Amino acid sequence: MELRHIRYFLAVAEEGNFTRAAARLGIGQPPLSSQIKDLEREVGAQLFHRVAHGAELTEAGRAFRAGVATMPDQATVAIRSARRAASGETGQLGVGLTGTAAFNPLVPAAIRAFRRAYPDVELRIEEASSFVLLSSLVEGRLDVAILRPAESDPQDLREESLMEEPLVAALPAGHPEARGAEPLDLTRLKEDPLILTPRSVGTSLHDAALAACRAVGFEPRLGQPAPQIASILSLVAAEFGVSLVPASLGQLNVPGVAFRTVRAPEPRVGLVVAYRKDRPPQLALNFAKAARAVRARVTG
């Protein structure tokens, strides 16, 4: 039994006449009568009395009409729902963020733009290290993530660059170099322990900080490692050492911590939106599109 048979049946039942129903449906009357006979054979009962003035429902026809009356509307709703899901307008999207990425103004702007464009999509936000986020993407626990890229990232992920963010020095408030109008020469910090996330947790930020020190001629003394940006800043405030962090963290008012820009060559760390290369969810592609649009507005 096909949906068109149901539509033909309902048209005849509503019009009470095969000729009028055929005109309404845009088909000939003989083909309509033939289709109704096919339906009756499939149902195993006569659905209409053919009378002089048209057609009347039989008892079986009235029972059949009660059962199928809403089917065309249900099918229309189902088709619309399927199309919206296929285009990424509904459903649930798992979005991952690294701790440092969350403070970059581009990130909340991208999330806000996506929510405005797709209000019926449920967002599930997860914050974790880049290492954890990459694993979650590969294994399908997350759909898309904004993170710091590294050369060792899995090849089965696509990473679209959003921006290159400068690193700034995070110093204890009482440090001799904590104040100054000019960009800081990193060599002034070569005797200070450098507090970083372990490389296994945040490869790109770890490597960028080491490379910045080496670029100006010294090998940094590694201090107490810290797994998250909050613990890095806490250790800096407690005078365990100094750190290099993304410039967007400079907007934070952290008691005991001072932020200084760094003299050229200015170290930078990337920010990307990442998702699976193989059959990415349309929702993830839509989120990446929203992030790219925000990037275009920010960078001009």
Give, for all 300 residues of the chain, the pLDDT tens digit.
788 888 999 999 999 999 999 999 999 999 999 999 999 999 999 999 988 888 999 999 999 999 988 888 888 888 887 887 777 787 899 999 998 888 899 999 999 999 999 999 999 999 998 889 999 999 999 999 999 998 889 999 999 999 999 999 999 999 999 998 899 999 999 999 999 998 888 888 999 999 999 999 999 999 999 988 889 999 999 999 999 999 999 888 899 999 999 998 889 999 999 999 998 999 999 999 999 999 988 776
Q: For the chain, how far is it from start to end, CA to CA, in angstroms?
A: 57
H or E, element range at 114: helix 106-117
Tell me which amino acid residue 33 is: S
Please state, in angstroms and rounded to a whole number, the distance separating the CA atoms of residues 236 and 243: 7
Judge if pTM exceeds 0.85. Answer: no
Instruction: List domains and CATH numbers for the chain.
Output: 3-83 (1.10.10.10), 91-162+270-299 (3.40.190.10), 166-269 (3.40.190.290)
Please, is 59 exposed, middle or buried when counting C-beta atoms within 10 Å of its C-beta (0-12, 13-18, 19+)? exposed
Please state, in angstroms and rounded to a whole number, the distance separating the CA atoms of residues 195 and 231: 10
